[in-house]
Amino acid sequence: MIVFRLGRIRTPQGPGMVLLLPFIDSFQRVDLRTRAFNVPPCKLASKDGAVLSVGADVQFRIWDPVLSVMTVKDLNTATRMTAQNAMTKALLRRPLREIQMETLKISDQLLLEINDVTRAWGLEVDRVELAVEAVLQPPQDSPAGPSLDSSLQQLALHLLGSSVTSGAGAARLPGPADSLEMVSEVEPSAPHGGARSSPKQPVAEGLLTALKPFLSEALVSQVGACYQFNVVLPSGPQNIYFLDLTAGQGRVGRGVPDVIPDVVVELSEEDLQALLCRELRPLGAYMSGRLKVKGDLAVAMKLEAVLRALK
């Protein structure tokens, strides 16, 4: 029993009979026995794009009753939220196969991460048991280079500053053979031989323009939504692009769409490139905070159909 006399905390009392002064003392009982709770199964995305239903069982006990009363108001809720956040972060960093094969190792790591937070509350977690209830969606194909269309490969290399050109007989910039030159989008690179006056096309604009050959009426009927992309550039400002899949064969371009977009997506230029090159899944990007959605989340996840069209 934790006793407060005129608001000042006293030494923990009990177990047994404790004398209290009416109207002067107030108290709070603390259970020092080992208790348990379960983290309800929730949908989480793994590193390779698989969607899992995962829960956990947690056993804990209070080792310092004074800290448990003084440092946190609702100890049970705070411990549950800490366990759920630690589980989410741990699974986002691992592929499905590792989660299934190393469940005990992940549980031990969760135990350490939760204790790092809860020890300051006078609480210690004794055991964490991770439970994979079901695999709701299998992992996506690994984004290997040969699986992408050859034109997209050439476009990606060009936008990253590769010296390789897709046209036959095109002039090469002077430099060592098979070299890859990284070009900054903010500051133009020094000219090789002669000065070039034309500015470099932004990576995001080039990648979205590459979607045009893949737009079709079938894709429009499957998705049926208009998207606005607020792409954050490395230098700080935003560029706005749109993907309209509501009529005809669909349209893609720069600027605000003619119609009110169903979903506004905000992400960095690097993450947009990873999405279109199938190195990042929309659901995994959203759950990790790399993709921010304003609007219907289910409509935003239909971008998966657009990515499948790039195969």
- Answer whether residue 159 is part of any domain: no
- Answer whether residue 68 is part of any domain: yes
What CATH number does residue 69 fall under?
A: 3.30.479.30
Tell me, what's the pLDDT at 58? 92
- Answer whether residue 26 is part of any domain: yes
Average pLDDT, the chain: 76
Residue 45 clears pLDDT 60, i.e. is over it: yes
Report pLDDT digits (tens) over 248-272. Answer: 888 888 888 888 888 888 888 888 8
Tell me, what's the pLDDT at 128? 92
Percent of all residues in the chain with a pLDDT value above 70, rounded to a whole number: 78
- Answer whether residue 168 is part of any domain: no
* Separation CA 105–CA 118 (nearest Å): 20
Tell me, what's the pLDDT at 310? 66
Report pLDDT digits (tens) over 181-203. Answer: 444 444 444 444 444 444 445 56
10 and 58 share one domain: no
DSSP string, 145-200: GGGS-HHHHHHHHHHTTBS--SSTTPPPPSS-TT-B----SSSPPPPSSS---SPP
15 and 77 share one domain: no
Tell me, what's the pLDDT at 149? 41
Tell me, what's the pLDDT at 207? 67
Q: Report which of 16, 279, 300, 21 is spatially closest to residue 148, judged by C-alpha positions.
A: 279
Domain end, chosen from 85, 115, 137, is at 137
Report pLDDT digits (tens) over 53-79. Answer: 888 999 999 988 888 888 888 888 899
- Answer whether residue 179 is part of any domain: no
210 and 305 share one domain: yes
Residue ranges making up the domain that contains 43: 34-137
Confidence of residue 126 (pLDDT cuts 50, 70, 90): very high
Domain end, chosen from 137, 170, 185, is at 137
Domain end, chosen from 104, 137, 170, is at 137
